[in-house]
């Protein structure tokens, strides 16, 4: 059994900040390539950000570049998504994923998924 859990979601005003956290168990799986995806009501799930096993390579979606930052702490087995200058369009359920696939910006590249955490940005 591989368990992925997200936390840190909530309700914020436009322009505000929020930090999401992701933890995996067993902790060995924190060494996998990790990513964040999001899905808004009525829309398809979309890629947000990914980070390599060593944390030296990151990939950020153009829609959030400059506002969202992904990081990881392998010693603690956690991955974070720092969200700044949030917009109403950022409202979605955010999912953390782990995997060893080569398609790092695609859902098919990840084997393990969390249940999601809701982020709501009000105007």
Q: What is the pLDDT of residue 29?
A: 63
**What are the pLDDT digits (tens) for 68-78?**
999 998 788 88
Q: How confident is the model at residue 50 (pLDDT cuts 50, 70, 90)?
A: very high
Average pLDDT on 86-109 reads 92
pLDDT at 15 over 90: yes
Q: What is the pLDDT of residue 70?
A: 97
DSSP 118: E
Distance in angstroms between the alpha carbons of the first and the last residue of the chain: 40
Residue among 34, 123, 46 at smallest CA distance from 81: 34
Average pLDDT on 34-42 reads 96
Question: Whole-angstrom Cα distance, residue 69 to residue 65?
Answer: 8
Provide the 10 A C-beta neighbour count for residue 63.
Answer: 14
């Amino acid at each position: 059994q591989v368990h992925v859990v997200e936390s840190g979601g909530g309700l914020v005003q436009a322009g505000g900040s929020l930090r999401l956290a992701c933890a995996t168990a067993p902790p060995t799986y924190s060494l996998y390539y990790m990513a964040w995806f999001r899905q808004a009501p009525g829309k398809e799930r979309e890629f947000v950000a990914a980070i390599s096993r060593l944390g030296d390579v990151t990939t950020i979606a153009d829609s959030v570049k400059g506002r969202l930052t992904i990081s990881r702490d392998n010693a603690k087995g956690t991955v974070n998504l720092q969200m700044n200058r949030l917009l109403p369009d950022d409202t979605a359920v955010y999912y953390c994923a782990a995997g060893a696939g080569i398609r790092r910006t695609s859902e098919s590249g990840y084997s393990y998924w969390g249940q999601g955490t809701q982020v709501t940005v009000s105007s």
